[in-house]
Amino acid sequence: MPREGHIGFEDLNVEFGYSLDEGSLHFFTEEENRFRVEFRDFVKREVLPLADRIDREKNFDLIRDIIKKMGEEGYIGVSFPKELGGMGKGLVYQVILGEELSAASYAVAVTYGASAVLYAMPIVRFGTKEQKERFLKPIMTGEELGAIAITEPTGGSDAIGGMRTRAEKKGSYYVINGEKRFITNGSRAKYLLLYAVTNPYVKRHQGISAFIFPTDTEGFKAVKDYELIGRWGSVNSHLVFKDCKIPEENLLGEENGGLKVLMEGLDSERTFTSSQYIGIARSAFEIAAKYAAERIQFKRPIREFEGVSFKIAEMYAAIEASRLMVLRAARMIDSGLKATKEVAAAKFFSADLTVKICLDAIQVAGGIGMTREYPLERYLRDSKMAQIGAGSSEILRYLVQREIYRKILG
């Protein structure tokens, strides 16, 4: 029954994931839906009860424990090759993981994603048998964490053109010097998927390479962890490489062929990160919808006022549209199709709408939404990263129009 006065978050009794209705599930296979239900049970049991504590305490150790449990129960290995002990599933399954994890804790989701998706999937695609055995198995079991190291102080949106980290071949080793920043898991990762310039005398996109870099290498240092406005509990680091020697067998793919590794990885990365935004938006929507049904003002539940009810309707539409765009992109990639335009569109669309949904959810909740009694303020802090990380919304709009005009102009 609707209630007057203050409604504490514990009084709302929001059912985790209730907004996923039959219409949403229809676009996934029976097997995918079974996996979602099973994984959601894991999230409700292992992640949701700790989400607020992870955020308030900025507690990476709790995240680390959850990642280990995910490894023990086989969830990290969902898209790892069967010959390594994984499930051999595609990006659609990672999209399901991303949404469900983020609906509980974005900090856990980005820690998992940086390791099991951003670091691991390029090695799955381009790694040798020996590289997969050595550098993927500890990630799949949750024993170790990986990270992807692209961004530098001189290269953010222009990651390739601004890349200055150098890997110079000397005999059977590469010697690496440079810096990377804003690296999720950076100071806690056992391995980095590191991009560096190997030929400075050609156009930059023709002269970069990808390496698997163990962080116990002499000369490597994590100089600091950034304090972000959101994703509290996760780790984001500034890294320095000074005369770091790694063996030539740690080269991933071909020398000077790093662009291919990077670009194929980016589409998967952006699809996965988009699924995380849907999880954040979903939880904000669920709280707002339940609050609007129970909060009484002017002797009526506030859901009866169009200023509120229309926001709820728009949130629902935005989440459903975002989920379908992300699913389409994931299925295209799983089918081996080029999906740069579809991925970029899904990411900026879902990112921008997630920020709006979190703002609207706070507006529906009113004053109590501005407090830490409700997790809405956490969702809002977390959501802003969606418009910046893994390609800003502005850059992604540029990519979409570029692909459109490539087709029109030939």
Q: What is the pLDDT of residues 69-96, one digit of tens each?
A: 999 999 999 999 999 999 999 999 999 9
C-alpha dist (Å) from residue 150 to 4, 48, 141, 221: 52, 31, 25, 16
Mean pLDDT of 100-120: 97
Pairing of strands 146-149, 251-252: unpaired
Q: Where are the domains of the chain?
A: 22-140, 146-256, 260-405
Q: Which residues contact 256 (CB under 8 A, 6 or more apart)?
A: 198, 199, 202, 206, 207, 208, 209
Task: Name the catalytic one among 32, 100, 144, 269.
Answer: 269
Give burial (CB, 10 Å; 0-12/13-18/19+) of 407.
exposed
- Adjacent-strand bridge partners of 148: 193
**In CATH, what number does 146-256 get?**
2.40.110.10
| 269 counts as catalytic | yes
Q: What is the pLDDT of residues 335-381, one digit of tens each?
A: 999 999 999 999 999 999 999 999 999 999 999 999 999 999 999 99
CATH topology of domain 22-140: Butyryl-Coa Dehydrogenase, subunit A; domain 1 (1.10.540)
For residue 1, what pLDDT is reported?
A: 46
Dihedral (C-alpha) 135, 139, 145, 147: value to the nearest 10 degrees?
60
For residue 394, what pLDDT is reported?
A: 96
338: left (phi over 0), alpha (psi -120 to 50) or beta: beta
Residue identified by tokens 């579809």 is 342
For residue 329, what pLDDT is reported?
A: 97
Q: What is the average pLDDT value for the chain, to the nearest integer?
A: 94
Model pTM above 0.75 = yes
C-beta separation of 184 from 234 below 8 A: yes
Mean pLDDT of 263-286: 94
User: What count of other Cβ atoms lies within 10 Å of the Cβ of residue 377?
Assistant: 18
Computed on alpha carbons and rounded to an integer, the radius of gyration of the chain in Å comes to 22
Residue 180 reports pLDDT greater than 70? yes
CATH topology of domain 260-405: Butyryl-CoA Dehydrogenase, subunit A; domain 3 (1.20.140)
Q: Say yes or no: do domains 146-256 and 260-405 share a fold.
A: no
